Amino acid sequence: MSGAIPERAVELLGEVRRRRPRIHCLMNSVVPKFVADGLSALGAIPSMTSSPEEVGHFVAKADALLVNLGTLDAQRREAIGIAVDVADEKGRPWALDPAHCDYSPPRAAFAQELLARGPAVLRANAAEYDLLAVPADVVAVRTGKADRIAWNGAVLHVENGHPLTALVTGTGCLSGAVIAAFLAVEADPFLAASAAMLVFGIAAEMAGKTATGPGSFEPALLDALASLEGTHILQFAKADNEQG
Amino acid sequence: MSGAIPERAVELLGEVRRRRPRIHCLMNSVVPKFVADGLSALGAIPSMTSSPEEVGHFVAKADALLVNLGTLDAQRREAIGIAVDVADEKGRPWALDPAHCDYSPPRAAFAQELLARGPAVLRANAAEYDLLAVPADVVAVRTGKADRIAWNGAVLHVENGHPLTALVTGTGCLSGAVIAAFLAVEADPFLAASAAMLVFGIAAEMAGKTATGPGSFEPALLDALASLEGTHILQFAKADNEQG
Amino acid sequence: MSGAIPERAVELLGEVRRRRPRIHCLMNSVVPKFVADGLSALGAIPSMTSSPEEVGHFVAKADALLVNLGTLDAQRREAIGIAVDVADEKGRPWALDPAHCDYSPPRAAFAQELLARGPAVLRANAAEYDLLAVPADVVAVRTGKADRIAWNGAVLHVENGHPLTALVTGTGCLSGAVIAAFLAVEADPFLAASAAMLVFGIAAEMAGKTATGPGSFEPALLDALASLEGTHILQFAKADNEQG
């Protein structure tokens, strides 16, 4: 199957750019513009509101939802509850990013509760991932030097990426948003998450070729997400099934 | 009159840079830094606080106010009310940007209420604009591929701009802030809004010449706002009166 | 002593990069990503949460704390109180940045209260600085065209820097975060603050050499913080003791 993943990623990236799905993000307060810009560069249409009064209206208009826990207080918890309710009601897929839950026990507990509400995909780094029990029906994406995507016994490793990614705040959050964009155009969440990580990792590699540091890496990453072509994916993809 | 608009825009840009007006922005939580950086690049001095306890003190020190609805909850509504009260009391002009009110009925209703409070200028994209009834005494700016500025029967079309603008979150919000900066130095709100849209559109065209995608377009736009000269405005302006 | 400051700054920058201290920032809502990216570029690990429910957990994991007053409401005041309590309890140094307290009397009053709680360093621009009575045991950093660092009768002037710094929102806030990063690796707060201002000013000068305006200055500053070498510090430092 790994041979087919890059080809499917090429098709799905084309779908994102053709359909321009609306992605609503319950994003933390640190990186909302960067994540919105990344989604726009990819070809999707972002919205970022998190006020409880309005979030339901925004999610109702969206094709997929991202719930990022990077900012968490009583109002944000309420907004997340409403957003997931509306996504369920409308049959929209959603992804969960338990950002920084390794720093805060209440956040880890809330992430565990949300996993029971049925996101299509969880995206987490190793420290966050290790704290959570991921239900079998949720695609589990663990990001790091290599990314691991697991579901129903299938496991894919994606080794694309660039070390400067770790020095730009919000790149992990943006990768979660890219997963949500692919969920909006592909019903198989394992395939959507795999294609997203491949596209994101290859864009990072392309950005790393022109960047002279973490500052110039950020605009270069956005440019790469916008200019990435199918031939780049087929040429650079490093995706392998885990050997059982 | 359209022949005179570019010449007046040159003068007014000079005024902004000379006087360095303070512009207080009730900005959404997504793009505050980008809007502040855009105002600084233009030559104005931004402030962005939106806590109800403090916003009155900030508006009292400002030369013009921008009210952007991109983030809206009970506290923000309260802060907006205080800010408009202080602007009225001090005789400071203000601009209204009903960002994303097409996504949220409560936001559209609040925008309509605010229009009755007498902003000098409304700036909205087509989807937002179509939902609102703009009073005759408010300059109505509808932005898009071309921008339309209307007041008291006079209508100007500005066709400067660049397609990458649409891929950078906050460029519309920044254009509203640029309008506020011109309102601070020019009492005729139609002229102020027209000059602002011309300056913003020409800066975007200049940025588009060096950018290699939406990521590099953003710093290039800020650089262009800072380096734009009168000769660029006179050379590149595409502003025409609407034929009745 | 001024002769030794650049040499010590070289050593301390190496310490930051080796130890990668965690710096928790109670940052305003305008520039959190920029400050986080600046800390990452320098070699530190940023976190930015300000919800009262969680901030204690984050500060407990941090090596130093920055309290920036740029956003201030009831919830933020509560979070700041908790953060300073935890920093005291754990013996972690903290820096205070009374951003924009010259605009808002309640903010100036709160800044004065916080000074009594014993930050290691205060960083303020001239307008903010002049409103506050800095206790003798707090290192007082006044930033501007030249930076002045004063403690216990010792006064250092740092003249490194670049004029574009003033056009990028958040550069002052980032300099406060850089001070916190140096406090995490150096027990003498005067030395930590001096080294931080020297490193920040020289990075700004390096960025100014490649930037073509305020937009390109920002990524260039982050690149410079990441690539700055000891030889640059020794070559470019302009630090002098004040003559009594």
- C190-224 pLDDT, tens per residue? 999 999 999 999 999 999 999 999 999 999 999 99
In chain C, the DSSP E strands lie at: 22-26, 45-47, 64-68, 94-97, 121-125, 139-143, 147-151, 154-158, 239-241
pLDDT of residue A146: 94
pLDDT tens digit sequence for C7-35: 999 999 999 999 999 999 999 999 999 99
**Chain B CB within 8 Å of residue A241 CB:** no
**Chain C CB within 8 Å of residue B125 CB:** no
**Chain C CB within 8 Å of residue B30 CB:** no
Show the tokens assigned to B1. 């009159």
**Chain A CB within 8 Å of residue C32 CB:** yes
Q: CA nearest B168 in A: which residue?
A: A37
Angle at alpha carbon of residue B195, lines to B11 and B102, rounded to 5°: 160
From the list C49, C53, C222, the residue facing A215 with the nearest CB is C222
**pLDDT value at C62 more than 70:** yes
Over residues A25-37, the mean pLDDT reads: 96
Over residues A165-182, the mean pLDDT reads: 98
- End-to-end Cα spacing for chain A: 14
pLDDT of residue A73: 83
pLDDT of residue A243: 65
From the list C36, C61, C226, the residue facing A30 with the nearest CB is C36
Number of CB atoms found within 10 A of residue B159's CB: 13
**pLDDT confidence of C3, banded at 50, 70, 90?**
low
pLDDT of residue C188: 97
From the list C34, C73, C106, the residue facing B33 with the nearest CB is C34
- Classified as helix, coil or strand, A147 is strand
pLDDT of residue B243: 65
**pLDDT value at A26 more than 70:** yes
CATH code for position B66: 3.40.1190.20
Q: Report whether C80 contacts C114 (CB < 8 A).
A: yes
Show the tokens assigned to B181. 């900066």
pLDDT of residue A72: 85
Q: Report whether B42 contacts B178 (CB < 8 A).
A: yes
Over residues A26-55, the mean pLDDT reads: 95
pLDDT of residue A1: 45
Q: Please tell me the total count of domains within chain A.
A: 1
Average pLDDT along chain A: 95
Chain C residues touching residue A29 (CB < 8 angstroms): 29, 32
| pLDDT higher at C180 or A2 | C180
Chain B residues touching residue A75 (CB < 8 angstroms): 73
Q: Which stretches of chain B drop beneath a pLDDT of 50?
A: 1
In chain A, the DSSP E strands lie at: 22-26, 45-47, 64-68, 94-97, 121-125, 139-143, 147-151, 154-158, 239-241
Please state the ipTM of this predicted complex.
0.95
Name the helix (H) or strand (E) containing C50.
none
Helices A214-227 and C214-227, packing angle to 10 deg = 120
Distances in whole angstroms, Cα of residue B168 to Cα of each of A62, A223, C209: 19, 11, 27
Interface of B with C in 182-221 (CB under 8 A): 218-221
**Chain A CB within 8 Å of residue B34 CB:** yes
Domain extent at residue A171: 4-241
Name the helix (H) or strand (E) containing C85.
helix C74-90
Q: CA nearest C60 in A: which residue?
A: A103
Using the 8-state DSSP alphabet, how is residue C2 labeled? Answer: T
Chain B residues touching residue C219 (CB < 8 angstroms): 219
**pLDDT value at A192 more than 80:** yes
**pLDDT value at A42 more than 60:** yes
Chain A residues touching residue B33 (CB < 8 angstroms): 33
Q: Is the dihedral of CA B54, B60, B65, B67 positive or negative?
A: positive
Over residues A187-206, the mean pLDDT reads: 98
Tokens 């909302």 belong to A32
Interface test with C, best of A29, A50, A218 (most C CBs within 10 A): A29
pLDDT of residue A187: 98
From the list A76, A103, A212, the residue facing C58 with the nearest CB is A103
Backbone angles phi, psi at A117, to 5 degrees: -85, 0
pLDDT of residue C1: 45
Strands ordered across the beta sheet of C139-143: C45-47, C22-26, C64-68, C94-97, C121-125, C139-143, C147-151, C154-158, C239-241
Contact A47 B216 (CB under 8 A): no
pLDDT of residue B242: 79
From the list C57, C61, C222, the residue facing A214 with the nearest CB is C222
Show the tokens assigned to C201. 């000013």
**pLDDT confidence of C243, banded at 50, 70, 90?**
low
Interface test with C, best of A80, A103, A128, A216 (most C CBs within 10 A): A103
Q: CA nearest B54 in C: which residue?
A: C104
Reported residue count of chain B is: 244
Residue C115 CA to residue C124 CA, distance in Å, equals 12
Over residues C114-120, the mean pLDDT reads: 98
**Chain C CB within 8 Å of residue A103 CB:** yes
Strands ordered across the beta sheet of A154-158: A45-47, A22-26, A64-68, A94-97, A121-125, A139-143, A147-151, A154-158, A239-241
pLDDT tens digit sequence for B36-69: 999 999 999 999 999 998 999 999 999 999 999 9
**Chain C CB within 8 Å of residue B53 CB:** yes
Residue A160 CA to residue A240 CA, distance in Å, equals 11
Residue C67: which region, alpha, beta or left (left: phi > 0; alpha: psi -120 to 50)? beta
Q: Is the dihedral of CA C3, C8, C11, C14 positive or negative?
A: negative
- Classified as helix, coil or strand, A140 is strand
Tokens 């408009």 belong to B84
pLDDT of residue C120: 98
With pLDDT > 70 as the criterion, what percentage of chain B qualifies? Answer: 98
From the list B33, B34, B215, the residue facing A222 with the nearest CB is B215
